[in-house]
Amino acid sequence: MADISAAAVKALRDRTGLPMMECKQALQQASGDTDAAERWLREQGKKTMEMRSGRETASGRIAIFLDPAKPAAAMIELLCESAPVAGHEEFQQLAADLAKQLATGPGAKTAEELLKQACPSKPGKTLQDQVDDLGNRIREVFRVNRLVRIDATCGGYAHHNGATGVLVEIAGGTAELAKEVSMHVAAMKPQAVTKEDLDPAVVTREREIQTEVARKEGKPESIIAKMIEGRLRNFYAEKVLLEQPFVKDEKQTVGQIAKAGNMQVLRFVRWELGKE
């Protein structure tokens, strides 16, 4: 067995963040080759994570990245086991790297495709390496639960705790206005951009409910139809983005704000952590 110096063990400890005894064992297994020892530690960590793969991942964070140079935008949901880990600086960096690579790289349809790609903040490593190294130190299961990329100009917003994320595809307008609309979407939870985008079955059901309410109120059949259209306007103002009162100026709708800013809202994606 190779004679391993304390300095070599410490160097590997500094490089990996793993306990000294594990680093010494890895160096012994690799006959003192530091790179091989690091690979051995990563493989041992993978085996440990495989045994823990059934654990619940109830915490995590949503991260976004906007790349106006392409233009492109991406959003990912990265899950872990506990809230303290979700707030860990390196976990936040991992989430940010995943979103950045998804937006700026060749794209990916699955988590597996994305994890094979290069890590933006750690030259020479893949995102999978980054996941394995961090998981090996923290000893929690990580999972890329959702990912989306939009190859168009977007605004975006992710809440500071990573619990909510929004991408809004736009045409025209400014980056600041697009971000404000994204923040509105995060707060007000619209279901569609326009009335026409709403599920017709949902609208029909609401119309039936309001008609029944009007009849129970004793309203004449001759005026019910007009009443229902008025009540549907309130329904649209709750469910439809462009019909909602803008959170920063409730005297105007989001549609009016967008029009004044020469911006067209084409679509949005809104996620809440753990809610698909």
Provide the residue type at 38 as one letter: E
From the candidate CATH numbers 1.10.8.10, 1.10.3720.10, 1.10.10.10, 3.65.10.10, the one assigned to the domain spanning 6-51 = 1.10.8.10
Q: What is the pLDDT of residue 159?
A: 96
The answer to which of 101-105, 162-166, 221-225, 228-232 has the lowest mean pLDDT is 221-225
**For the structural domain made of 56-151, what CATH number should be given?**
3.30.479.20
**Confidence grade of residue 54 (pLDDT, cut at 50, 70, 90):** low
What DSSP state is assigned to residue 162? S
Collapsing DSSP states into helix, strand and coil, what is residue 180? helix
And the tokens for 108?
Answer: 């990916």
Residue of 77, 67, 70 whose CA lies nearest to 114:
77
The reported pLDDT for the residue numbered 267 is 97
Confidence at residue 51, expressed as pLDDT on a 0 to 100 scale: 63
- In the prediction, which pLDDT does 253 show? 97
Residue spans of the domains in the chain: they are 6-51, 56-151
The region of weakest confidence among 7-16, 48-57, 261-270 is 48-57
Instruction: Indicate if the pLDDT at residue 1 is higher than 60.
Output: no
- Whether the predicted pLDDT of 116 surpasses 60: yes
Query: Across residues 43-53, what is the average pLDDT?
Result: 70
DSSP state string for 90-108: HHHHHHHHHHHHHHHSS--
Beta strands in the chain (DSSP E): 59-67, 72-80, 143-150, 154-158, 164-172, 245-246, 249-253, 263-272
Q: Measured between alpha carbons, how far is 75 from 157 in angstroms, rounded to an integer?
A: 10
Residue 112 has pLDDT above 80, yes or no: yes
Residue positions counted in the chain: 276
Q: Per residue in 168-212, pLDDT tens? A: 999 999 999 999 999 999 999 999 999 999 999 988 898 888 888
**Residue among 180, 229, 172 at smallest CA distance from 206:** 229
End-to-end C-alpha distance for the chain, whole angstroms = 52
pLDDT band at 47 (very low <50, low <70, confident <90, very high): confident
Helical H segments across 146-253, by residue range: 175-188, 200-216, 221-239
Question: One-letter amino acid identity for 231?
Answer: R
Residue 230: pLDDT band (50, 70, 90) is: confident
pLDDT at 145: 96
Three-class SS state of 88? coil
